[in-house]
Amino acid sequence: MRDGHASILSQTVHKGEIILNKSKMLVLTSVGSFMALAAFTVGPLVPAFAQTTSTSTLPQGVTALYGTNRYETASVIANVEYPKGTTTAILTSGLEANWVDSITAAPLATALKAPILLTSGVATVGSATLTELKTLGVTKVYLIGEVGNSVNAPKIEAQLGQGVTATTISGATRFATAGLVAKTLASVEGVKSFSTVFIASADQNHLADALAADPMAAEMGDPILLVPNSGDSSPMDPNVTAYFNDAATGYLVGPAQAYLYNNAPSTLSLIPVYGQHAAGTASALDQQLAPKGGYKTLFITNGDEANLVDTLTAGPLIAMDDGAIADVYNGTVPASTAQLFKSAPVQSVTAMNIVGGPSSIPQTLYDTSTSALAEALPDLGLNLKISVANPVVSENTADPLTLTGVPSSAAVHWSIVGSNASTGSVTGTTTNASFVGKAPGVYSIQAEADGLTTTTMATVYGEAAEVAATPVASTLVANGTSTDAVNIVVGDVNGLTVANFNGTVDLTAVSGVTYSQNGAVLTPTNGVVSVAITNGTATFDIGNISKAGLSVIITPTNLVSSNAQPQVSDMTYGMAIVTSVAPGSNG
């Protein structure tokens, strides 16, 4: 139930970190218009979509959750929900025409402890979602809506691989699908009926109103039932009718408030909850169904119909964190959302999450919503911000810090928190300070002023310990003209790029292969070509291959610094292989 639900984000998102699983970590860094999700791996690779970029630092307590597209955003959200993995997931189509099938899925997802992941089509899972299923360790999926019908379900199941079983939930209409979702929810919860139901319109143009009910319904464990529009002759699905008639309370969400049924039983108390638009409906639900003690987190979502899919997949996460939806769209923060910021249930908020990337919620909307929230909730400290002169710096190097958002006369206390606190130091008692990291790692720097705190991250790299070679592609067309770029990265013991390392690294030349860098051919000397490294990285090209089946083994050796940068005595060199293929054989 809403009042007693634990806050998952307060457990997994802290001081800028999102723990993905036992072998992965996403660290929030300031390199773009949103806080970046920069991946550092100590095991299997984090999917590339977890690496986004930005240009300004988000304040303390603000997190951006997004990938490069809707499918990858769903995966990022799933990793936050289940950092240690989960055995069950819900799959539903990510296509706009099919969203209505899954707006009722959040309560079931919560009951199953399953994230909602999106397929790239009604009969195609898509690479991002397949990767996420493996990352989470999923062995059972529920196929909801079009992906679960008799034609598409077998095609989806065939792509899941061995060891993954599927349960289908798909009706002949969107109403029937909602009824079957409710029936499955009842089975999972071990009940025959629900005392409370949420009733929403199935109109494709009013999905935002229905989605606004997702977190409340999910946390209360009650279903969302879809009803036809006024004048629609579609019959109510028997499952919908059963739960509609057995409930004692029905929340009529958004436009559904206009669809009062004449045959509603006298025992059902119908409570309209709506606003002039979707943002107003979300705010009305937030205020009417707030948890005791208020909300812990605000989730900034896009209420525009074209961008609802991120809200769809975030519903269970919002429920987990006792969160409230704050809709923004059309370049502004609607009056109803601004009013929500000032309402009593929101005064307990300690964090804000942005759901969706810059294409959904641009920087201007983020700035406007942050400003409105900071004004309404000064104790949240959203105006506090630490600027780090060099977010990535070498060890034992002084790094200037500046704190803004507080009066210059305020007493400021600086500290390093977390596991690396003992290997770093911050000196300063004003809004200006200096940070020094004495060992490689990621440091969490905290500033406290007037009872408010804010935190930022600084990465400290050590001496060179490894050289990694990574080809852009694993194959090269053997037509004598194609080339493949290969990246070289000099890393420390933690795999962090040694950003001040300049020098060279040698490669064993393969006969018949041309090596070039920056457009200049690298001539082998005694069977070795030398590649120049700048700021810890290098890129070179291989090509001029006419023979198929040739394995080009890229073996870095002999790392040499030109600017006296230290390196460990037992350097590790990572080998890479590119295989030449006949023209046309690589698709």
pLDDT in tens, 92-122: 999 988 888 889 999 999 999 999 999 999 9
pLDDT in tens, 404-444: 877 666 789 999 988 888 999 999 988 999 999 999 988 98
pLDDT at 381: 63
pLDDT in tens, 507-547: 999 988 999 999 999 999 999 999 999 999 999 999 999 88
Of 54-63, 106-115, 248-257, 270-279, give the lowest mean pLDDT range: 54-63
**pLDDT of 64 above 50:** yes
Residue with tokens 């998102």: 13
Contact 89, 78 (CB under 8 A): yes
Of 10-24, 81-95, 385-399, 471-485, give the lowest mean pLDDT range: 10-24
Higher pLDDT, 248 or 29: 248
Nearest to 571 by CA among 469, 486, 493, 461: 493
pLDDT at 277: 83
**pLDDT of 57 above 50:** no
Nearest to 172 by CA among 193, 148, 155, 156: 148
pLDDT in tens, 283-292: 999 999 998 8
Residue with tokens 């962090």: 496
CA-to-CA distance for 293 and 3, rounded, in angstroms?
8
pLDDT in tens, 335-387: 888 888 888 898 888 788 889 887 788 777 767 777 777 666 666 666 678 88
Give the model's confidence band at 223: pLDDT under 50 very low, under 70 low, under 90 confident, else very high. very high
Q: What distance lies between CA 319 and its chain's CA centroid?
A: 16
CA-to-CA distance for 271 and 284, rounded, in angstroms?
12
Nearest to 201 by CA among 264, 272, 153: 272
Beta-strand relationship, 412-417 and 385-388? unpaired
pLDDT at 564: 85
Mean predicted lDDT score pLDDT of the chain? 82
Q: Tell me which DSSP letter residue 54 carries.
A: B
% residues pLDDT > 70 (the chain): 83
What average pLDDT does range 62-74 have in this prediction? 88
pLDDT at 61: 62
What average pLDDT does range 220-247 have in this prediction? 82
CA-to-CA distance for 457 and 28, rounded, in angstroms?
7
What average pLDDT does range 77-103 have in this prediction? 93
What average pLDDT does range 20-32 have in this prediction? 24
Contact 386, 401 (CB under 8 A): yes
**pLDDT of 50 above 70:** no
Contact 327, 355 (CB under 8 A): no
pLDDT at 409: 65
Higher pLDDT, 370 or 455: 455
**pLDDT of 75 above 90:** yes
pLDDT at 6: 29
Phi–psi pair at 461, nearest 5 degrees = -105, 155
**pLDDT of 398 above 90:** yes
Domains defined along the chain, listed by start = 2-380 (no CATH), 385-461 (2.60.40.10), 467-581 (2.60.40.10)
Phi–psi pair at 299, nearest 5 degrees = -110, 110
Residue 493 to residues 63, 234, 458, 497, 499, Cα–Cα distance (Å): 28, 64, 17, 10, 14
What average pLDDT does range 387-415 have in this prediction? 86
- Answering whether pTM is above 0.75, one says no
pLDDT in tens, 178-219: 999 999 999 999 999 999 999 988 887 788 888 899 999 999
pLDDT at 60: 55
